[in-house]
C-alpha cells in the first residue's frame, strides 16, 4: 500500500515481439503481445500495441492508494538484419520503430528507447549479448560536425512530444511519413494550470523533423478554459 507514496515507478519493458525475434518488420502481419493472436495490417498492430501499453497505466494506478507513474523502461527495434546492413538501408527498421512509437503515443505513456551505444559497429553490435538495437553507430557517421550524423532510424525516433501538460493529455499523434510532418496534441486544461501552477504546456519540436520552422494551429473546444487562440511561442534554440 505504500508503493504509490514512496516514489515507485511502474517501468515495464515493451517490444514488438515478432520484429525482435525475426530481426525484420512484417508490415502486414504481427501478433497481439498479450494474447498472441495474429494481427493483420500495420494499423491493427498499432492499435493492439497501444491497448496493451494502456493496460500498464491501469496497473500503475493500483500502486498504493495514490497510484504511481508508468514509464516504458525499454522499447526499440533490432537493426541486425543482414540485408539491411549490407545496403545500409534502414527503411524497414524506420517503419518498425515508428509502429512502436505510434503505439506509445496512442497510449499516452512515457518511454526510454533502448539503446544508445557510442562504440557501436556493424560487426560488434552493441557489445552486449549479441544485441544490435543502438540508435547510433560509429560506422554511420558521415559528417562529424552534424549532431545527427551516425544516427539510425532517427526519422522514427526523433519526434515531437509534450514535455509538460497543464492539464490532462487526451491525444498525441505524429506521422513522420506525412509530407507536412503534422503533429497533433490534444489536452483538457486544468484550472489555474493544475499542479504546474503556470498554465504552460511545453512541447518539444525537433529541428530534425522541422528544419524550416513550424506552423502552429491552436484550437479551443468548449470554451471556458481561459486559453486564448494564439497563446504560444516557439523557442527555436531549445529544440
- Report which of 163, 132, 134, 137 is spatially closest to residue 150, judged by C-alpha positions: 137
Q: What is the pLDDT of residue 155?
A: 97
C-alpha distance across the termini of the chain, in Å = 40
| Range from 34-43, 169-178, 193-202 that averages highest in pLDDT | 169-178
Report the range of poorest mean pLDDT among 27-36, 148-157, 202-211. Answer: 27-36
Q: What is the pLDDT of residue 1?
A: 45
Residue 4 has pLDDT above 50, yes or no: no
| Range from 25-29, 60-64, 151-155 that averages highest in pLDDT | 151-155
Q: Say which residue, 21 or 230, is predicted with more confidence.
A: 21
Strand partners, 113: 75
Q: What is the pLDDT of residues 85-126, one digit of tens each?
A: 666 788 999 999 999 999 999 999 999 999 999 999 989 999
| Range from 22-36, 138-152, 179-193 that averages highest in pLDDT | 138-152
In this structure, the number of other CB atoms found within 10 A of the CB of residue 56 comes to 18
Q: What is the pLDDT of residue 162?
A: 95
Q: What is the pLDDT of residue 192?
A: 61
Residue 14 has pLDDT above 70, yes or no: yes
- Report which of 201, 164, 208, 159 is spatially closest to residue 183, judged by C-alpha positions: 159
Q: Whole-number mean pLDDT of the chain?
A: 87
Strand partners, 12: none
Arithmetic mean of pLDDT, 50-60: 92
Contact yes or no for 35/2 (Cβ under 8 A): no
C-alpha cell of 65?
492508494
Amino acid at each position: 500500500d505504500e508503493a504509490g507514496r514512496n516514489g515507485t515507478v511502474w517501468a515495464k519493458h515493451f517490444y514488438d515481439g515478432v520484429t525482435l525475434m525475426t530481426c525484420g518488420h512484417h508490415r502486414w502481419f504481427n501478433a497481439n503481445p498479450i494474447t498472441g493472436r495474429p494481427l493483420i495490417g500495420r494499423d491493427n498492430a498499432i492499435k493492439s500495441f497501444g491497448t496493451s501499453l494502456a493496460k500498464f497505466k491501469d496497473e500503475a494506478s493500483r500502486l498504493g492508494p495514490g497510484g504511481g507513474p508508468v514509464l516504458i523502461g525499454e522499447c526499440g527495434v533490432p537493426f541486425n538484419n543482414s540485408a539491411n546492413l549490407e545496403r545500409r538501408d534502414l527503411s524497414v527498421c524506420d517503419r518498425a520503430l515508428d509502429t512502436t512509437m505510434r503505439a506509445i503515443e496512442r497510449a499516452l505513456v512515457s518511454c526510454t528507447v533502448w539503446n544508445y551505444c557510442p562504440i557501436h559497429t556493424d560487426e560488434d553490435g552493441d557489445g552486449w549479448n549479441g544485441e544490435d538495437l543502438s540508435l547510433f553507430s560509429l560506422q554511420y557517421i558521415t559528417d562529424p560536425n552534424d549532431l545527427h550524423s551516425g544516427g539510425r532510424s532517427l526519422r522514427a525516433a526523433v519526434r515531437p512530444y509534450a514535455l509538460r501538460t497543464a492539464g490532462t493529455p487526451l491525444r498525441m499523434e505524429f506521422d513522420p511519413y506525412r509530407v507536412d510532418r503534422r503533429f497533433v496534441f490534444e489536452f483538457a486544461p486544468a484550472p489555474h494550470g493544475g499542479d504546474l501552477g503556470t498554465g504552460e504546456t511545453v512541447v518539444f519540436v525537433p529541428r530534425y523533423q522541422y528544419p524550416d520552422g513550424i506552423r502552429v494551429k491552436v484550437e479551443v473546444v468548449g470554451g471556458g478554459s481561459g486559453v486564448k487562440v494564439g497563446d504560444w511561442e516557439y523557442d527555436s534554440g531549445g529544440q
